[in-house]
Chains A and B, each alone.
Chain A
Amino acid sequence: MAEVTQLIHEYLRHDKKFPHVLCPGCGHGIVLGSLIRSVHALGIAKDDVALVAGIGCSGRVAVYVDFNTVHAVHGRALTVATGIKMAKPEMHVIVVQGDGDALSIGGNHFIHAARRNIGLTVLVLNNFIYGMTGGQCSSATPLGCWSTTTPYGQMEKSFDFVEMTRAAGANFVSRGTVFHVKTLDKLIQQALTHEGFSLVEVLTPCHTQFGRKNKFKSPVDMYQWLKKTATPLEAYEKLDPDKRAGRIPIGVFVDNHEPALETRYAAMRAKFAKG
């Protein structure tokens, strides 16, 4: 406990008026905790971190933590982060987005940031729903699930963030959950130290908007569900294909070492500098 308190004092903003805006039981706070622990464990200075967030409950986490923080506009966090990274490649530029922010409104930017393989660490807080605006469906809402805009069940298929990011060409693609916190810490640390575009998709429950409509009686039910369905990739791959249904693999899916955009750019400029 003492250690937790210390980290809070070191990383949260003292002059910010708390309490925070997140609902009790929301997974977003756990992700923030994991991020802070990871930055701390890697010994990255606060000044060297720029945290850019989109709009949504997920976007609100930026205001509480004592980094250079930017709360951008809905869907465009990656564009702002791209500008920061290209201007200051030496900084750790971290992006926090909701599933709606990242792949609904921001889908095009997401694909292109991954394609460019620009050195950003992107945490997509996937709660399968639009939390902040009151539980409308997002492009991650699973087929058949209920939301305020799919009162008869979702008819569209949802995005698989991992497959999408892999196909777009990112260097590091992973998925974790807020139930498996130790694994999450590790994934975030790997992402933070990996060259090029790094995705950590985090499954995080929104009990208030998703759970309530989809027969999860309490936040605890949702965490129990994460515990049951999330399966480490190695174990998942060993399963018979018919046993895989309903399970979500977690772990590292892509671990490439292509040069990042900023590295390629620096090499091109170095040629001019030599004359």
Chain B
Amino acid sequence: MELFINQVLAGIATGAIYACMALAVVMIYQAIDHLNFAQGEMAMFSTFISWQLMQWGVPYWWAFLLTLAFSFAGGILIERLLFKPLAKAPLLTNVAGFIALFAIVNSVAGLTWDFTIKQYPTPFGSSPFLGSQLISTHQAGMIGVTIGLLILLYIFFQFTRIGLAMRAAASLPESARLVGINTSWMIALGWGMATAIGAIAGMLIAPVVFLEPNMMGGVLIYGFAAAVLGGLTSPLGAVVGGFLVGVFENLAGTYIPGVGNELKLPIALALIITVLVLKPAGLFGRPIVKRV
């Protein structure tokens, strides 16, 4: 029983990473109806920016805020320059665009900061949390930040005019335009916010997985899986999905013989596909009603 509780706790701790990433994925999916394959690389780049700022002597929280501002602006810039012109192009062309962006960001980061592994500081400290050996204060902080972020997003989308406008632009763009919402800028805003959330995810993950250009590869897959599991239309679903994936992955690795570390990812993905086959819109997603 103790082993079980320990594994669940450790799963929740890694789940917080996935939840953060999934939140960013859902943000951008809401805005533009695409999965952004370059999301992880963008988060990695933001994390490197904050690291560079700290190398230059900027204190942690200032670097954190500056990076958020930079990422927000960067996200909007990428949308304006690269993806706005592609808005009318076929969906698959857009996906190719994301892959191209992935290659560019990864390569530029590799050339600027090289591929050696770097330490990244944590603002919460790394001592054990409340005497537990499995979950450190950093991981507890991560869970706290993820939940805080979720509450902020909820307030933003539920109670602010601009949040309402963004939701309107996402669900019925033509009608939203008719009531005077600038849908094009709402999409850009979605990109900005998603990039900023990705940056938070990156900065929280970096102390755990260490900083290097390929650090997000695995995390993004789990982030996608979590987002799809929770339902791509629901930020709450993304967070719950993230924690579920983390816990399941740990339990499968412990209790299913022959899984070990190698097969953890395939098993987690297999679970998600099973869930999707039973409930195609994800756990918290709205089922999409089709009409001819």
- A and B are partners in one complex rather than unrelated chains: no
Which B residues form the contact surface with A (CB < 8 A)?
none
Which A residues form the contact surface with B (CB < 8 A)?
none
